[in-house]
Structure 1
């Protein structure tokens, strides 16, 4: 390990390799060389599998942040994809961005994380999604290796489990209105006035106009964080208190 460590300044930068697709070409490079790649824009390194009778369910989610479809391999992965899409600090997301290769002292291992996220401040974040009760020894080793590799290049590493069910149900609902086409500026202005101080959801909607026209705008503003409500306490309903976020 001595010579590679001198080459990159950290043994981990040579002990790990990144295997990824860039503009349709397969590349495999030491971590110390490949980590500057824009992984938020790469193609998935493996296919998403649809199989009859299995518990997981793969699919494609239209990501408003990436303005493109991003893949997922389970409902839990999709939920976290939705949460990342709503996070204002996230500016780019890709799924299955690379294989991380390493040797654990006994055999060669590889692991493809679920997501690579680019943050607004330029930092990278690697996300692996796995419920707590599904983390076995092999997964633990993969996550530990991934965390070590991320630390070596200044990326964050997150192992994401199951989110709060009430909060997630509310955010899933708001995600239906994530696209910019739901935003109508004149109606948005009336809603911001109606919820300048906290008010019941339906009361503010009716003050802004026809509910069928206003509700999509309301939910888009809530998705965007311009308007807020207690998404963790209970499912959204007509009497949920809604308010304008200060500074927005």
Structure 2
């Protein structure tokens, strides 16, 4: 049985709150939470960490692994995500009479939806005793505060590779304001990507605009299949 004790967190102005009632988390905006711990690099480490630059917010968010980086990219691609705080809190809890601590990976603020508490781990890890214990506590915390909870694991390969590619075009490209309206009108009916590039010139400028429109979901395509010249594009407003 899980019993929640307290939460510790840090705000971006340096205010440290230790062992506070978990309900204190409700009063802090997601964008005001700083990481309670910062991952450090070390010789022989198995996971590659870094910072992901969000197109949505213009802010860097820490990640501890390539899988977390992929999760952040999916969140950035979503049009409902407004803020993401990495390593937002330290949770103290007990499980079967023993005391533990847990650091959830991300807390996410969303437009028109409840906050989302997220852990990111591989499918292989999900059924370990550590995962059951820690993720159960994270879900209990989310339930107690009226948040949603999700454990995010490896996505479908084609979709993940497509978003890795489109993520390279997540920021507004050159001549976007000029070309985007023309391309969106041309996609009022489904058009093959290569046909559209043949009729809209110069192609070297058109493709980055198309990929940014796909990233921002102003254009739609079946991203569960490999993206290529035969991909059909349609305006999201159709």
TM-score (norm 1): 0.89
Rounded Cα–Cα distance in structure 2 between residues aligned with 1:191 and 1:110: 51
Query: Structure 1 182/169 Cα, relative in aligned 2: closer, same or farther at 3 Å?
Result: farther
Alignment check: 8 A CA contact 1:20 1:98 kept: yes
Alignment check: 8 A CA contact 2:73 2:164 kept: yes
Rounded Cα–Cα distance in structure 2 between residues aligned with 1:33 and 1:116: 15
Partner of residue 46 from structure 1, selected from 37, 41, 58: 37
Rounded Cα–Cα distance in structure 1 between residues aligned with 2:175 and 2:125: 40
Query: Any idea what the Cα deviations from partners look like across 1:203-232, whole Å, max 9, x if unmatched?
Result: 112322111111111111000000011110
Matched, 1:17 2:9: no
Query: Any idea what the Cα deviations from partners look like across 1:47-106, whole Å, max 9, x if unmatched?
Result: 122233332110111011221111111111100100001111111111111111112353
Q: How does 1:104-183 map to 2 (within 5 A)?
A: 104-121=95-112, 123-135=114-126, 136-181=128-173
Q: Which residue of 2 aligns with 1:195?
A: 187
Rounded Cα–Cα distance in structure 2 between residues aligned with 1:183 and 1:150: 44
Alignment check: 8 A CA contact 1:129 1:161 kept: yes
Rounded Cα–Cα distance in structure 1 between residues aligned with 2:113 and 2:220: 27
- Gaps (5+ residues) in structure 1? 1-10
Rounded Cα–Cα distance in structure 2 between residues aligned with 1:116 and 1:81: 11
Q: How many residues in Structure 1 have an aligned counterpart in Structure 2?
A: 234
Query: Structure 1 60/206 Cα, relative in aligned 2: closer, same or farther at 3 Å?
Result: same
Rounded Cα–Cα distance in structure 1 between residues aligned with 2:82 and 2:49: 23
Rounded Cα–Cα distance in structure 1 between residues aligned with 2:205 and 2:124: 43
How far did residue 200 of structure 1 move?
0.8
Partner of residue 59 from structure 1, selected from 20, 28, 50: 50
Rounded Cα–Cα distance in structure 1 between residues aligned with 2:41 and 2:179: 41
Partner of residue 74 from structure 2, selected from 75, 83, 90: 83
Rounded Cα–Cα distance in structure 2 between residues aligned with 1:88 and 1:162: 21
Alignment check: 8 A CA contact 1:182 1:220 kept: no
- Gaps (5+ residues) in structure 2? none
Rounded Cα–Cα distance in structure 1 between residues aligned with 2:161 and 2:174: 20
How far did residue 156 of structure 1 move?
0.4
Query: Structure 1 65/156 Cα, relative in aligned 2: closer, same or farther at 3 Å?
Result: same
Alignment check: 8 A CA contact 1:66 1:92 kept: yes
Corresponding residue SS for 2:169: coil
Q: Which residue of 2 aligns with 1:34?
A: 25
Query: Structure 1 72/182 Cα, relative in aligned 2: closer, same or farther at 3 Å?
Result: farther
RMSD: 1.7
Rounded Cα–Cα distance in structure 1 between residues aligned with 2:165 and 2:97: 47
Rounded Cα–Cα distance in structure 2 between residues aligned with 1:53 and 1:41: 33
